[in-house]
Structure 1
């Protein structure tokens, strides 16, 4: 009798375990339709041609998916959906032995036997192997190779959409990143995990403010300094100073406008503690998850700016200066008021001493290059300052710096014939064969203001014959910027191309290679010193 009881108990336990395994949570079901929405959009030939109002298809099948009770009923819904889309012929061009960048590629979910039955996994595999070829209705590539999102419906009055459209927006964005974002594999959090984490948050969002915060949190998951989202065209007002993260403190490290900084009694080395009685350190801890940044330093700095920008024209800052705490009233301005990009007094080039010349890349244009090398032909060292945003003149510089043409970057771009895969492009080169190139030392200055084109330019200049790079970690957001709409007309952006050194070292998140690391100090700023430049002059004088 005891044996029979134990056997029945075992059968009951096994049956309950089987039922538990087959049960699929609502979040899991929603994750499957989110992934199916994107996969069919970019892979199914009939969907890729734009034959269907794809958002309406999603809205139509969403309730059915939520009503599914197990993998069989869920699989049947997707099988019926796929069958209704039309037949898929054999693809003649899908097999390829081309070397592809596959670190972002992940279609393993299509073969998940715990959630899908064998008939569905076979169908999904068939679609992958006979996927759409040609120009997709929903996304194309620009001449440089990055994507352009096209033909997405326009949704008005979406400050707080219904739950189904909140989910649709999440799935649209998630799939653009899933298939076309070149640096997905470098994210701190796996992109699959982001989806399952964000689904409940998007469902629970109870008002416009909470909804927009969750969207910002989603964008921040990219860990990309190029990533941002704008919900309206209203421009914030700015303090007239640059802020750096030094010793985990918000420190005035430069000026957008010297005169306005003086008027507002702001000085280099000031430590900002509060803004209108809001503790900046505590607010940074609270807000950093909503701010995108490629590395920890940039993320904190970007969060400081988010806290310090605002609508009000005047604020009260609590600062620490010379070990004293004081409150000062400060004005905010429209950024255009600073005339920052049109600063005619900023130095283009200068002779530091008889041995060393200095070039400010923020001010140099193409027409200046030949003349600056003539003026520095007797110098032993040229310091090139890239702690700014330069013009696209790296090729002109390299003609004078390099004795030969050299590779400086490997680029990979989205493969539209196999979404999720990326194609390597030919290595980019810079310089020419030039026996009369500059023979002296080249010292390149970088810091956390060196972003995107500045980082790309740094990579090119680093091919010079006798170059050394000094400074601190750059922004780690290389390549161009792709701007597209988040559902509801909100503008958002990501890095669009994968940029590597020729040896395949990433610059994304890491920043450019640095030979000697120098970080500014609060004491140095208070003394008006440029510690990175000082080190460059020391090296250039040797």
Structure 2
């Protein structure tokens, strides 16, 4: 009797759960996931047989009208049935070692929102997934994805609600299945979806909508991630800004002559631009700015606040403990001639013992001559606080006595979306008994990003190397650029980059042996404190 009573209670409870109404946000989260899963997993959809966006638009109202688990599951079962029969997959079982930290199809088996018929169908599709070249996404030779054959939507600066949701869901699924660093984001990607759905639905104008797109992309916590809504160029101050003691501090120049003309000096603390308080504006804007770590996110926010359309602005600054107002000019970035400055130092002999290489300025053709000129040096300082040419292999030929692993890479697995494949470890250097025998000191900071970080990893395989500086940008790997619905350009990191021991570089930055950050006082004195420390180490 007691068993029968308990069974009745369980049955009644399960029946009530089955009949519970599902919120609109939950229902929309399910169609977001079903839309992306079928797009990349179902063989007929993956072949491009259907107008997949139109299918979404067709089923969206039905999903919103569904009252409970059974009615919702019926819609999805009917949708899947309409797509055609799926043959058994002969190649889907694999014992290949895969990177699975981003993989998550647990939602397909959620019995609280899907019935058993639907969960079984979704599992069958996973196990017999599409193995050909997907119509909507392919891979580049370097392993990153290339988004293909997406419809072009005109006049979409502020689309209707169903297309705002479609854009959100397209983007969410690209990240869900092909972004290598999804597992590292501060906010779980599932919760990003449920948070953003009501926001995108209620966006009341173009400005709100575009702000939400920026907020969505910022949730990747990736310095490589950005979105551009138009091609209009902005103007820049001729200064570099760093976050020092949570202040916007002038730490360098894009053009020192123009900085001098505008009375801008190293160590200046920027307080206001026109009437806008920079720290208050940073707090407001930071959630819309992409950055792999806190420091780079703040610095990126400072930069966004400081550039704009107006050529002349008023800055309120703190200099030598005095508050001043100065008028400054903004310029097109090309006016700085920053990348090909005739004043840029390629190399220099700091003293008889120490040589210096500026990686921003040297090319492949320079490398042999540089090492020949430094053959009697005991120390070479390599400055990677910049963006270098792709010449790490040429450097390693002179620095390493043998070939060494420096990077482990994982790339999207197109045969099993959400999984990633490890590639063979990348190596650098050659067997060379005549390699440089002295000490190598590598300089990095928050200007070291992407190729600079990758190059640093390679140089760190040198026989006798030490790395000093501060946290790098934490955005390693190739950049993937694709369109957000409406023609907006957006970007993400495309490959996963690890050290050979699987230490992550994304978000963390590269390994640093001695941490040194510039100080406001040091900048005011015109000192390069990181370089000073390198010279001190080299002189020991």
Question: If the TM-score is normalised by the length of the shorter chain, which range does it land in?
Answer: over 0.9
Find the residue that maps to 1:253 and give its secondary structure. strand
The aligned residue for residue 164 of structure 2 is 166
Which string of whole-angstrom CA distances, capped at 9 and with x for unpartnered residues, describes residues 157-199 of structure 1?
Answer: 0010000000000000000000000000000000000000000
Q: 1:353 aligns with which of 346, 351, 354?
A: 351
How far apart in 1 are the matches of 2:154 and 2:479?
25
| Structure 1 residues 147 and 15, CA gap change in structure 2 (3 angstroms) | closer
How far apart are 1:21 and its partner, in Å? 7.0
Which of the residues 368, 371, 379 maps onto 2:369?
371
* Residue 134 (structure 1) aligned with residue 136 (structure 2): no
Q: How far has the Cα of 1:345 moved from its partner? A: 1.3
Counterpart of 2:208 in 1: which secondary structure?
helix
Quote the offset at 1:15 in angstroms: 6.8
How far off its partner does 1:23 sit? Answer: 1.8
What's the counterpart of residue 73 of structure 2?
75
Question: C-alpha distance in 1, partners of 2:242/2:505?
Answer: 21
Q: Counterpart in 1 of 2:213?
A: 215
**Structure 2: distance between partners of 1:482 and 1:469:** 29
> Could you tell me which residue of structure 2 aligns to residue 452 of structure 1?
450
CA displacement at 1:270 relative to structure 2: 0.2
Residue 435 (str. 1) matches residue 433 (str. 2) = yes
Aligned residue among 314, 333, 352 for 2:331: 333
Deviations, residues 110-168 of structure 1 (Å, cap 9, x unaligned): 00000000000000000000000021000000000000000000000001000000000
Contact residue 22 and residue 114 of structure 1 kept, 8 A: no
SS in 2 for 1:342: coil
What is the CA distance between 1:19 and its match in structure 2? 5.4
Deviations 1:392-420 (A, max 9, x none): 00000000000000000000000000000
1:22 aligned to 20, 23, 32, which one? 20
- 8 Å CA contact 2:371, 2:398 repeated in 1: yes
Unaligned runs of 5+ in 2: none
TM-score calculated relative to the size of structure 2: 0.97
Deviation at 1:40, TM superposition (A): 0.2
**SS of the residue aligned with 2:432?**
coil
Q: 1:16 to 1:453 in 2, by over 3 A?
A: closer
| SS of the residue 2:198 aligns to | helix
**Contact persistence 2:442–2:465 (CA under 8 A):** yes
CA distance in 2, matches of 1:412, 1:21: 44
TM-score (norm 1): 0.97
Name the counterpart of 1:3: none
> What corresponds to 1:344 in structure 2?
342
Match 2:123 to one of 122, 125, 129: 125
CA–CA distance in structure 1, aligned partners of residues 14 and 148 of structure 2:
48
Change over 3 Å in CA distance of 1:92–1:19 after alignment to 2 = closer
The 3-state SS of whatever aligns with 1:340 is coil
Query: Do the aligned partners of residues 248 and 408 (structure 1) sit closer, same or farther apart at CA in structure 2, a change above 3 Å counting?
Result: same
1:286 corresponds to: 284
TM-align CA RMSD: 1.3
Q: Deviations over 1:309-333 (max 9, x none)?
A: 1111111000000000011111110
Runs of at least 5 residues in structure 1 that lack an aligned partner in the other structure: 1-6
User: After superposition, what is the alpha-carbon deviation per residue over 1:481-526, rounded to whole angstroms, capped at 9, x for unaligned?
Assistant: 0000000000000000000000000000000000000000000000
Which consecutive aligned stretches of 4+ in structure 1 deviate over 2 angstroms post-superposition?
14-22
Instruction: Supply the distance in 2 between the matched residues of 1:398 and 1:16 (Cα, whole angstroms).
Output: 65
Q: Which residue of 1 aligns with 2:298?
A: 300
Taking a change above 3 Å as real, the CA distance of residues 16 and 74 of structure 1, as seen in their structure-2 partners, is: closer
Residue in 2 aligned with 1:154? Answer: 152
CA distance in 2, matches of 1:15, 1:114: 12
| Count of aligned pairs between the two proteins | 532
For the residue of structure 1 that corresponds to 2:339, the secondary structure is helix
1:505 and 2:477 correspond = no
Q: Equivalents in 1 of 2:392, 2:330: separation in Å?
A: 36
Change (3 A) 1:21 1:278: farther
Q: CA deviation at 1:22?
A: 2.3
Equivalent residue for 1:250, pick from 218, 231, 248: 248
